[in-house]
A and B are shown apart, each in its own frame.
Chain A
Amino acid sequence: MGDTIETKTLTIENELGLHARAAAMLASESGRFKSKIFFERDGMEIDGKSLLEILTLACPKGSRITIRAEGEDARDAIEGLGKLIEDKFGEN
């Protein structure tokens, strides 16, 4: 299977936004995949495997981010990351 590019746009719904713990969960999840992963918000794109970079994206509740995955497991990556965000990182 060749490289594919997958994207998905989601809204951050949990109360504190992408705070430290949520950002850490995202970065770990991204790290599980071989694909290159990027998060984009308001025209800023960062490396999805770097916790530091995710924190600098500074997403409060209600912000919309676009996930882009490039690689053989891009589809799985989008699905895994999307679920994490949709599940509000297991909060509440």
Chain B
Amino acid sequence: MRGSEEKRVTVFKGIGVSPGIAIGKAYVLDHLDAKISRYKLDDSKLVTREIERFGEALKESERQLLKIKKELSDYEGIESLYIIDVHIMILKDKMLTSNTVRNIKDKYVNSEWALRMTIDKYKEIFDMVADDYLRERISDVEYVGQRILRNLAGKKRETISDIGEDVVIIARDLSPTDTAQMKVERVLGFATDIGGKTSHTAIVARSIEIPAVVGLKRIVREVRTDDEVIVDGIAGLIIVNPDPEMLRRYEDKKKHYHIIEESLLEYAGLPALTKDNYKVEIGANIEFVEEIPSAVAHGADGVGLFRTEYIYVNRERLPTEEEHFSSYKSVIEGKGIGVSTIRTFDLGGDKFFSDPGLICEMNPQMGLRAIRFCLKEVDSFKVQLRAILRASVFGKTRILFPMISGVGEFRDTKRIFNEVKNDLLAEGIPIAEDIELGIMIEIPSAVMVADELAREADFFSIGTNDLIQYTLAIDRINEQVSYLYEPLHPAVLKLIRRVVDAGHRAGIKVAMCGEMAGEPVYTMILLGLELDELSMNPLAIPRVKKIIRGLTLRESKELLEKVTTFPTAAEIERFVRSYMTQRFPEDFLTNEQ
């Protein structure tokens, strides 16, 4: 077999979306075998048995293929059968077998991993083929590989199942289904071909505090399972097969990064209070109950956004009311947490494109998702609302409804909420009396009718990710246009201001829970806009607090007034960045490297 035997150092540049440094083995993720782990065989006896296990899986695969062939031959023309013969030949190909067995022997790894290494290597060779049709033949190899893997899974031995190794996940993109299936504690970092700061990969990485680099374009094709990789989430780099010198430098950097984080943690426990005594509430955006300790440790006053989609993923059926309830109860009664903001079902859109159970929409971002889906699927919406209401007696609760486009939708939502509430009261089930109902402001139409909405809602929370995307008409995961995703676009600033003003006129609080809220470069601008609450990924809190504590509201307003005279997003961004860099040199200089 060809393919480079000696390891070459390769560096890929992408977008760092979650800070930190990770060093470890690559695992190239394919959608069909997301559950494969790497296990070290620590005994030569295990190697022999592992090779036997691989042999058995090969035999079983062949038996299955012959059976399929026989079944097909009963009613199909001979023509379509040859491909099964091809697959059987690949299965029995001595190179496939000998390479995999060699991997097991030389690397002391389990059959699954060894087979993946073999297939990845062939993939690399096929990728270089110029002829489209011939290059596509790798799919036959992969098909056979998947069959063997399935048969291996059926014969998994328990003795090695618990000692999986930590890996860096390399993928084209990660969907919630992918991440839900992973043992997250085994994941050191992410590197993906596509995506941006707000894609799912980025959000998950930040929430579990591991480094991630996205938008690498060709990483899946270039990296093989078992390659040594460094993920530099600060600089947005992936280094494959680093030389020892480089490895040492990065081990150092990794340590350094942790020291910086430690020094920032002293701000975690302090209130987000400006020098002129303007207090900003700091919320944490979380999606797993397990994140609450980290949110509290990093200084969150409350949960500003609890994403509930993860209760739904990776299931055969819809979650029961009890499953919802136990999840919300854990959040609402969470230690050290003030208010808990539960966002209802945001299913649909980019977050669920990989769910095979859903009808494929041409334009899912503007399709049947979030509150639209809930108002259509009222029964399952009511299950969620019942659970939230029941959990509300365990602590101060807010409910946030996503994708509200106007007053009508919000009234429909409240009507359903009241039905659920009355049902519970009729059943004698206690619920809190001070539950607040909020609107997620993320559609431009909601901004335009913010005054009317403010009269009907208890609070607003601005979801900047979608608001920016809908306002500027750009698909944030489309790399062709992602450069237009500009949080400081004059239009975006005007919209935010309009929402804040409308909210304050009606006497309600206005929060921001989009990614923008946790970006320290924007902190002064957001303060100048007089947002009452900023909710962000917990890791971002200490630095944002540090910045808030180092400035005044007056100064922030002046900066905002200054930049709103600029006509373009680029000018505003440039000005704000250089202002922040001068104002807080130790917080921004290091990030730009």
Contact = CB atoms under 8 A, between A and B. Distances in A.
B441 to A, nearest CB: 54
Interface size bracket, A side: 20 to 34
B125 interface: yes
Contacts of B96: 52
Most A CB contacts (10 A, CB to CB) among B82, B95, B96 go to B95
A35 to B, nearest CB: 15
B435 interface: no
A23 to B, nearest CB: 8
A25 B448 CA distance: 68
Interface stretch (B133-141, B171-179, B299-307, B476-484): B133-141
A16 B126 CA distance: 16
A19 B137 contact: yes
Contact of B134 (A21, A49, A53, A60): A60
A53 B122 CA distance: 9
Interface in A27-80: 27-28, 44, 46-47, 49-53, 55-56, 58-60
B122 A51 contact: no
Given A20-B140, A24-B85, A58 B93 contact: no
A82 interface: no
A47 B95 CA distance: 9
Contacts of B85: 24
Contacts of A18: 134
Interface of A: 16-21, 23-24, 27-28, 44, 46-47, 49-53, 55-56, 58-60
Contacts of B141: 52, 55
Nearest to A50: B95
Contacts of B153: none
A17 B131 CA distance: 10
Interface string B125-164: 1100111011101001100000000000000000000000
Given A51-B89, A56-B125, A19 B95 contact: no
A27 B89 CA distance: 9
Which among B93, B96, B131, B134 has the greatest number of chain A C-beta atoms within 10 A? Answer: B134
A55 B137 contact: yes
A21 B2 CA distance: 22
Contacts of B1: 53
B94 interface: yes
A51 B83 CA distance: 13
A16 B135 CA distance: 12
27 contacts: A17-B131, A17-B133, A17-B134, A19-B134, A20-B86, A20-B140, A24-B82, A24-B89, A27-B89, A27-B93, A44-B2, A47-B94, A49-B94, A50-B94, A51-B89, A52-B90, A52-B122, A52-B141, A55-B137, A55-B141, A56-B2, A56-B125, A58-B129, A58-B130, A58-B131, A59-B134, A60-B131
A28 B130 contact: no
| Interface residue SS majority, chain B | helix
Contacts of A56: 2, 122, 125-126, 129
A19 B122 contact: no
B94 A16 contact: no
Nearest to B92: A51
A28 B89 CA distance: 9
Contacts of A60: 130-131, 134
Nearest to B140: A20
Contacts of B2: 44, 46, 56
A18 B134 CA distance: 8
Contacts of B140: 20, 55
A51 B93 contact: yes
A27 B87 CA distance: 13
B131 A51 contact: no
Contacts of A51: 86, 89-90, 93
B66 to A, nearest CB: 16
A52 B86 CA distance: 10
Interface in B50-86: 82-83, 85-86
Question: Max chain B CB contacts within 10 Å: which of A23, A47, A55?
Answer: A55
A12 to B, nearest CB: 11
Contacts of A44: 2
Contact of A19 (B93, B94, B125, B133): B133
A50 B361 CA distance: 43
B93 A20 contact: no
List 6 tightest A-B contacts by C-beta distance, closest first: A58-B129, A50-B95, A60-B131, A58-B134, A51-B89, A52-B93
B93 A21 contact: no
Given A18-B134, A58-B131, 19 more contacts: A20-B86, A21-B82, A24-B89, A27-B89, A27-B93, A28-B89, A47-B94, A49-B94, A50-B93, A50-B95, A51-B86, A52-B122, A55-B141, A56-B2, A56-B122, A58-B129, A58-B130, A60-B130, A60-B134
